[in-house]
Amino acid sequence: MPDLSNSSRRSFSRPCLAKSARLQIDPVSGKPVLLCQEAVIQINRTGYEILLQCDGTRRVTDIVEELETRYSLAKTTLFREVSEYLEQIDQRGLLQWS
Amino acid sequence: MELAHRPYGLLAELTYRCALHCPYCSNPAKGEKQSELDTLEWRKTLHDAAELGVLQVGFSGGEPLQRRDLEQLIQAARAVGLYTNLITSGVNLTEERAARLLQSGLDNVQVSFQAAEPGLADRIAGVPNAHQRKLRAAEMVNRVGLALSLNVVLHRFNIDSLREIIALAESLGATRLELANTQYYGWAYRNRSLLIPTRAQVEKAAHIASDARQRLAGRMKVLYVASDYFVARPKPCMNGWGHRYLTVNPSGFVLPCPTAWEIPGLRFETVRERPLAWIWTKSESFNRFRGTEWMPEPCRSCPQKEIDFGGCRCQAALLTGDPANTDPACEFSPHHRVVREAADGRVGQFAIDSCSYRQNP
């Protein structure tokens, strides 16, 4: 289980992909990947949609609201899943917060 | 198309020329002067690599900043969707060039440091004021807004100041610090008896790195690469021969790893002679040690064979004379004694200046 102690503290912070990270579609598999200095991280569509919004202008709550329009999930569930996901990416040093 | 053996990473060694003379350099120690690939040849190589499935390119050398067309090559790599990393000593970087590198689409800069203390660092590099110029380069990288990571090769002469090295990386605002114990190929093998640390030094360093990794989590990623001479098990070299990575050296030879060039008896092809895809899929050199079929005992019946892939072919060739042997870094290798004796054979005091310093080809 990822550590969620930061998730509520960060709900109004704005995540941004680190300068050294890049999100793109792998032309061979057609699936999204997150590229950083020494890794190719395979991610799923939902992860891709979350990370696409990590541009430093949206708060975590904004991202959750946006996803609410696309997924038929309760807001609390979405919030938990988005926070967990961002925490995983943050643990790898691939997010900056403002 | 999904290849069973798909390359994800290309190491593009643009030149063997370098301003520094580090005695642990992994470049071939028997370097011959060869004609470097030109801009067009590199552009084609980058294009072909992306078609083959490569997602990341590391521009390395030698010193890749010595190539005036570096910016063009970064642009070409980005145009075909590659993630770009520059592996540099930093000594000749200017702020204008750093800005141009950023504009060209560079994703990350990895600057090497030799030590934290300037006098020692310059003695290791074999060049006066190298350390000072690296500090300036790191500041320039930050100032123009490029992502900075640091790499420090560890050996007997700098491993005891690991805490200071970590502090230096923190103070420079690096996002990542790679602490890599020397791997004994090329010049490093030639200088092994001087560079190899003691077991006590290595164990202490591993603890310091582990503490730093926890303390700095989320701020700076600390990666510690242990020496296979001290851990009794071989490294999963390149994640398997011809499986995920390829190297193109300055004159265009396509290699499964940067040091494979020195394996006797293997014939490699250049991108001038053959298409990259043919070399990757069909060449004898890339197929020679693919998968597990080639393995002798004790690898063949070993439960670890899909984990470490029998270790490193270059090391097997270098230390046993046969690249098809089990890597002698493995405690089950019949040749393991040569590694253990090198690791435990250190006595007396030695000076860095006694090393054979790297020469340009």
- Which pLDDT does position A5 carry in this prediction? 53
What's the token pair of residue B251?
């004159």
Tokens (6 digits) for B321: 């004379």
Average pLDDT, chain B: 94
Closest-approach residue (CA) in chain A for B176 = A93
Residue B223: other Cβ atoms inside 10 A: 15
pLDDT computed for residue B93 by the predictor: 97
Contact A37 B149 (CB under 8 A): yes
CB-based burial, B277-299: b 16+ in 10 Å, e otherwise? eebbeebebbbbbbbeebbeebb
Interchain proximity A20–B81, CB inside 8 Å? no
Domain ranges of chain A: 7-97
Q: Which of B31-35, B187-191, B232-236, B244-248 has the lowest mean pLDDT?
A: B31-35
Inter-chain residue contact B50 with A33, CB threshold 8 Å: no
The verdict on a CB contact (< 8 Å) between B8 and A40 is: yes
Instruction: Name the strand (E) or helix (H) holding A44.
Output: none
The model carries a pTM of 0.94
Q: Is the CB of A44 inside 8 Å of chain B's CB atoms?
A: no
- Pick from A20, A28, A29: which is nearest to B107 by CB? A20
Give the residue from B124, B117, B131, B194 showing the smallest Cα distance to B161. B117
State whether ipTM is beyond 0.90: no
| Mean per-residue pLDDT, B108-113 | 98
* Average pLDDT estimate for A43-68: 95
pLDDT tens digits, B253-295: 999 999 998 899 999 999 999 999 999 999 999 999 999 999 9
Q: Please list every residue in chain B whose beta carbon sits closer than 8 Å to the beta carbon of residue A36.
A: 83, 108
Indicate the Cα dihedral angle B9, B279, B256, A32, nearest 10°. Answer: 20
The predicted structure's pLDDT at residue B31:
62
Fold classified for A7-97: Arc Repressor Mutant, subunit A (1.10.10)
CA B167 to chain centre: 23
B151 contacts in chain A (CB < 8 Å): none
pLDDT at B1: 43
Q: Which of B20, B18, B23 is nearest to B196 (CA)?
A: B23
Residue position matching structure tokens 């941004």: A16
Instruction: Inspect the interface and report whether the beta carbons of B107 and A35 lie closer than 8 Å.
Output: yes
Yes or no, beta carbons of A27 and B85 under 8 Å apart: no
Instruction: For residue B59, give the chain A residue with the closest CA.
Output: A37
**CB pair distance less than 8 Å for A27 and B218:** no
- Give every CB contact of residue B86 below 8 A, 6+ residues apart in sequence: B58, B59, B64, B65, B70, B74, B101, B106, B108, B109, B110
Residue B174 φ/ψ region, left for φ over 0, alpha for ψ in the -120 to 50 degree band, beta for the rest: beta
Task: Give the model's pLDDT for residue A1.
Answer: 44
Element (H, E) at B154: strand B148-154
Chain B residues whose C-beta is within 8 A of a chain A C-beta are: 1-3, 6, 8, 50, 53, 55-56, 81, 83, 85, 107-108, 110, 145-147, 149, 175-176, 217-221
Best of A23, A28, A90 to mutate (most B CBs within 10 Å, chain B): A28
Query: Residue B109's beta-bridge partner residues?
Result: B86, B148
Q: What is the pLDDT of residue B348?
A: 61
pLDDT of residue A25: 95
Q: Are the C-beta atoms of residues B88 and B65 closer than 8 Å to each other?
A: yes
